[in-house]
Structure 1
């Protein structure tokens, strides 16, 4: 990866105006201190996408996308961190000078750049031949026009034509000064070998007399080509693709994604087809959110690409029975990747390209909307029809469908699909559930028609394991699979904490919901209790948001909080890392800056900072006109810090107390018993002391609603009396 000096990165981030950058993609309207707009990453009617100019952060409270100005460019353009920085630098006229690389790094970068450059030259050369040469116009352009493509589509996808000549591209490239070895490395030319496989020294163009389809990566750079011959020769492959190279990996590229990526985000669905012309015809017909696997089997890399832009994919199947059967195996991977998969089947003999040319754009769009169905329902109906009345085929078909259902990560969806499958095949649902549980318990099981290797679905928690959420009909409790668990909602977690319960999980059992408490803290291994994380997060939030603000004369929030602990007070690893980053900033003479921290190269740190620094709601200024004063941590940072530190230390005390009480459950000698009882007594005293101070602080907060100044005067410097010296 290219390296940009940290000072230059900071300069780019400080210069970039997030309102201007986001405003290039959506229309922002001010409401309170923030600006709002419909989210550019998902469809919505009421704006939930917020931009905070002061902190240079954005967050969508609908889909959860969040980050700083660099992250926004990465999200909206689908680029890397370095590419996003270069985008901003170019926008604001900042010259980017990358740090010097090692000789090996520089050599590798030069090799890749040279291949990109020669591929771009070939693209331009083929495109020029299509539109300006006699052969290109009469044969290549004539064919594309016959297929219904207009000039705008041809130019958008930069289509071209290769002359029916052995060395046209090679001569043009040499004349332009390009090294022949890069033509060979990208597969644009081929070396002729003799019968013994030895290089004869003769080279010729790989693509000759073909319509050229440039293949772009997500940044729009040409990485390879697909080429269709127009000759009627059974010995010649109709389509010929570039071979794998340093810049072209078939498994990580989708044809048309560069042109479709923004439409996929906007429409919240990706249409997946098979061929180049399918993409071109649908794009020209107004369906711009379409990509193709280019005739290759669908790969995990391609699925990850789709998921970057949408969780929804609709596969458009040709009306060909053999093709459908082959495609079914690959579509299971989409389910395993956590995507919501729907299917459209065209009439027999038609593919998306031929059908849209036959019925027109509007009727085609209507057909897709009317004929779309979820993949499991489609597959169940298809295999049930093929199995007909043959009991053996029917049993195999049911198991095949169950393998697909096992790849669905969501437990509720799996249950719905099992119910549908039961109705389609006319088989008791409990029998299906029993068979399903057997299937997912067998790690070596693999259906004859499955795609790839491994057991039936191994994606996420619950999918493809015994944690299916479906009860077994076995009378043995031990043989019954554990139900799939999901995290509590915010409301459920708050309720649990309010009433002093232990952390719980919510399980789906049959069609109902039940709550199962987990083990208390003393019985856990090293799991962190939720309350500890909540308290740690609050201390970190104050540190990040108000670092330079003074709590006392010449004492900042950052210095005040960092001075309360001899070492990192956090057990949550990410919070501890963030604490250390802030501490190092302060030691270097700088205050931690949320604006810069939110541009960190690490995605987990960017996400954390954004969550800490953004809130969906603001306190209305109208409250200030009323007699009741709402506590404002901005005006009383010391009280806010004291409360946060007090709560964190109280949780530490309670945690130590729980551990000491746990020791009493085990046999102890007299000395150990005496020491443990003494420790428990001391900890209970500290816990009671913390409780008294907590009540004192609640009184301070109540008083602050009437007069913040009098509250600060009445309760000065209390935090010093409630530090227990327990550290972490």
Structure 2
């Protein structure tokens, strides 16, 4: 199996300066020991985003994002762990050479890389034709200018034009040294077949005489094209897209996401439109958090893409009633994906592109704000108008709304929507809940082969406050199976399959299921030990005895019962055994997302002690000056918690029938445990900080 040598990964992390990398995206200003800026992940006016150069980590005290330099690239670019490493390698000029690849793997990788290369070349070719040829300027550029697009937008989206010739692209590509098979695999060139499906030997360009819209993936690589014909009364389709290929899967792509992903994160909002020109006009009007499904029905893959960057999506509709009706199923999918969905309508005959050109940027933004409404309310208004005074139609309209509510995973939101629907249709809420539960049971029965009692997201009665009678939440969708390539990447980098699930989704902090929402005493004590280890490992406590050596030696026989803290303690031991201090800068780059998240939490402090205290000769004790006390207290408290838990177990055992020998054994152990507990309590109560002596 192919893998990147660990030495290369270490080299990337060693060279990647977090201040330099983060500084590419935000303007950092020094304040104390750290650097500060407004967070790139959410909208804020006062800086709460901190970068600690000494620790090699970042932390936003507003939204909670935190991690090391690799995690930052994953968060800001929406890439996987592997892609983030490659991004940094490219930035610092480090060659990432993979070894031990089988001939088949190497061939497949070369084939895929070649398709990316030829697609990028085609994009440049079309762009050059648009700007620098008579036909491109006279037809393509003229059309784009008529649609109100300026030079900046044209260059930002790398728009182009294909000459109205049968083989211009094919001949130019082959002359430049590109193989015809890659032109065919990407769909740029078509093979002519006869009626029996046999190759006639003829080849021609797919796109001819069209304005070209390059389609980028989230990393900015060109994977396909959309193209619009400019010929009046042309018998061919107005819009033509690249066919599916090894690098282009239209169900997993949103046009404009690469250019708008940062704005979507910052604004915490994504505007969803239908066409390329809608995206371009809005982006030019300083509404950059916009993407398009490019005329295709919305897919689960596209919804997952949006959810990478925000939980809030607003669908922009033209005023066509038939078009709105056709899109309702797609919006139900957005609800099912856990997104908060709103809707904005435009006057009849207008789409987002035409409306912003008609009224201007400012009035368009005002319309977005004023006309936005929650989707359930929007659908309720829509179907109730259609039902008018017809009782049968009204009943069907109510069921339509309930079907959408059933898609919402959050039980509290479902309850609120049911209350709103009850008021809108002037129908008793309990009747709605009964009908809702019937719909859920029927859907669940179909999904499980007709067993209507198999469960579902049913609701309790209105009289009991609408509390869930079952789980109350839609089941979490199972992650899609990983491809062999993704599994190879996971093993290659030591990342867990969960970290790479979702086809390159950004790694976020995995839920630490072994941690209670409110930490118990055991977790609090274990957390304190690993915090001291991370922050002060090399600090001396005595001649030739460091904090790391002291803590690990004292805890040699002490069990850690919380998985994540035990794992981190084990990693610290491994680092020390290999002659390295267990430091934040190292562990913050770990392939496990939950480890990275925990290290960031433990190593980040929101406030720094003002140097003015020292200037005014006011002494404030620091933890660094009292490390022996801090370490001793952490060990004593952890031991005391373990003793108390064992004591509780023994006392509980006495409540059950026991033979005489077993009872005597428990009583003796309880006596010893109580003595130890009292001794530990006494030691904790008499520890005097050195600064107070």
Deviation at 1:385, TM superposition (A): 1.5
Q: How far apart, in 2, do the equivalents of 1:651 and 1:101 lie?
A: 50
Q: Indicate conservation of the 8 Å contact 2:118/2:182, yes or no.
A: yes
1:475 to 1:418, Cα distance in 2 relative to 1, 3 A: closer
Corresponding residue number in structure 2 for 1:137: 137
Corresponding residue number in structure 2 for 1:654: 644
Corresponding residue number in structure 2 for 1:197: 197
Match of 2:457 among 458, 465, 471: 465
Q: How far apart, in 2, do the equivalents of 1:155 and 1:695 lie?
A: 70
Corresponding residue number in structure 1 for 2:95: 96
Q: How far apart, in 2, do the equivalents of 1:475 and 1:245 lie?
A: 52
Deviation at 1:234, TM superposition (A): 7.2
Deviation at 1:233, TM superposition (A): 5.0
Corresponding residue number in structure 1 for 2:531: 541
Corresponding residue number in structure 1 for 2:485: none
Q: How far apart, in 2, do the equivalents of 1:439 and 1:657 lie?
A: 52
Other structure's SS at 1:35 match = strand
Deviation at 1:620, TM superposition (A): 4.2
The TM-score normalised by the length of structure 1 is 0.82
1:625 to 1:95, Cα distance in 2 relative to 1, 3 A: closer
Deviation at 1:89, TM superposition (A): 4.3
Q: How far apart, in 2, do the equivalents of 1:355 and 1:568 lie?
A: 68
Other structure's SS at 2:155 match = helix
Corresponding residue number in structure 1 for 2:522: 532
Corresponding residue number in structure 1 for 2:506: none
Q: Indicate conservation of the 8 Å contact 1:10/1:596, yes or no.
A: no
Q: How far apart, in 2, do the equivalents of 1:430 and 1:619 lie?
A: 58
The TM-score normalised by the length of structure 2 is 0.86
State the Cα deviation string for residues 597-636 of structure 1 (Å, max 9, x = none). Answer: 1122322221111111002123445666899975532112
Q: How far apart, in 2, do the equivalents of 1:454 and 1:179 lie?
A: 51
Other structure's SS at 1:563 match = helix
Q: Indicate conservation of the 8 Å contact 1:271/1:315, yes or no.
A: yes
Size of the alignment, in residue pairs?
Answer: 647
1:377 to 1:464, Cα distance in 2 relative to 1, 3 A: farther
Q: Indicate conservation of the 8 Å contact 2:4/2:99, yes or no.
A: no
Q: Indicate conservation of the 8 Å contact 2:409/2:473, yes or no.
A: no
Whether 2:170 is the aligned partner of 1:170: answer yes
Q: How far apart, in 2, do the equivalents of 1:465 and 1:101 lie?
A: 49
1:94 to 1:120, Cα distance in 2 relative to 1, 3 A: closer
Q: Indicate conservation of the 8 Å contact 2:153/2:280, yes or no.
A: yes
Between stretches 344-353 and 397-406, larger displacement belongs to: 397-406
Deviation at 1:421, TM superposition (A): 1.4
State the Cα deviation string for residues 33-90 of structure 1 (Å, max 9, x = none). Answer: 3232221111112221112122121100110111112222232233343443444445
Please show how residues 563-578 of structure 1 align to structure 2 within 5 Å: 563-566=553-556, 569-578=559-568
Q: How far apart, in 1, do the equivalents of 2:62 and 2:519 lie?
A: 27
1:324 to 1:634, Cα distance in 2 relative to 1, 3 A: same
Other structure's SS at 1:47 match = coil
Q: How far apart, in 2, do the equivalents of 1:668 and 1:426 lie?
A: 65
1:431 to 1:636, Cα distance in 2 relative to 1, 3 A: same
1:569 to 1:352, Cα distance in 2 relative to 1, 3 A: same
Deviation at 1:483, TM superposition (A): 7.2
1:29 to 1:155, Cα distance in 2 relative to 1, 3 A: closer
Corresponding residue number in structure 2 for 1:550: 540
Other structure's SS at 1:687 match = helix
Other structure's SS at 2:589 match = coil
1:562 to 1:429, Cα distance in 2 relative to 1, 3 A: same
Q: Indicate conservation of the 8 Å contact 2:558/2:639, yes or no.
A: no
Between stretches 551-560 and 17-26, larger displacement belongs to: 17-26
Other structure's SS at 2:316 match = strand
Deviation at 1:409, TM superposition (A): 4.0
Corresponding residue number in structure 2 for 1:16: 16
Q: Indicate conservation of the 8 Å contact 1:472/1:481, yes or no.
A: no
Q: How far apart, in 1, do the equivalents of 2:603 and 2:660 lie?
A: 52
Corresponding residue number in structure 2 for 1:580: 570
Q: How far apart, in 2, do the equivalents of 1:152 and 1:13 lie?
A: 35
1:632 to 1:473, Cα distance in 2 relative to 1, 3 A: same
Corresponding residue number in structure 2 for 1:598: 588
Corresponding residue number in structure 2 for 1:496: none
Q: How far apart, in 1, do the equivalents of 2:25 and 2:471 lie?
A: 47
Q: Indicate conservation of the 8 Å contact 2:60/2:66, yes or no.
A: yes
Q: Indicate conservation of the 8 Å contact 2:170/2:180, yes or no.
A: yes
Q: Indicate conservation of the 8 Å contact 1:227/1:240, yes or no.
A: yes
Please show how residues 443-458 of structure 1 align to structure 2 within 5 Å: 444=444
Corresponding residue number in structure 2 for 1:350: 350
Other structure's SS at 1:248 match = coil
State the Cα deviation string for residues 496-540 of structure 1 (Å, max 9, x = none). Answer: xxxxxxxxxxxxxxxxxxxxxxxxxxxx9x999732222111111
Unaligned 5+ residue runs, structure 1? 447-452, 456-462, 486-523, 711-728
Corresponding residue number in structure 1 for 2:424: 424
Other structure's SS at 2:625 match = coil
Corresponding residue number in structure 1 for 2:57: 57
State the Cα deviation string for residues 310-369 of structure 1 (Å, max 9, x = none). Answer: 222211012111211222211122223332221101112221112222222222222111
More relative contact order in 1 or in 2 (CA 8 Å, sep 6+)?
A: 2
Corresponding residue number in structure 2 for 1:70: 70
Unaligned 5+ residue runs, structure 2? 450-454, 475-513
Deviation at 1:398, TM superposition (A): 2.1
Q: Indicate conservation of the 8 Å contact 1:541/1:612, yes or no.
A: yes
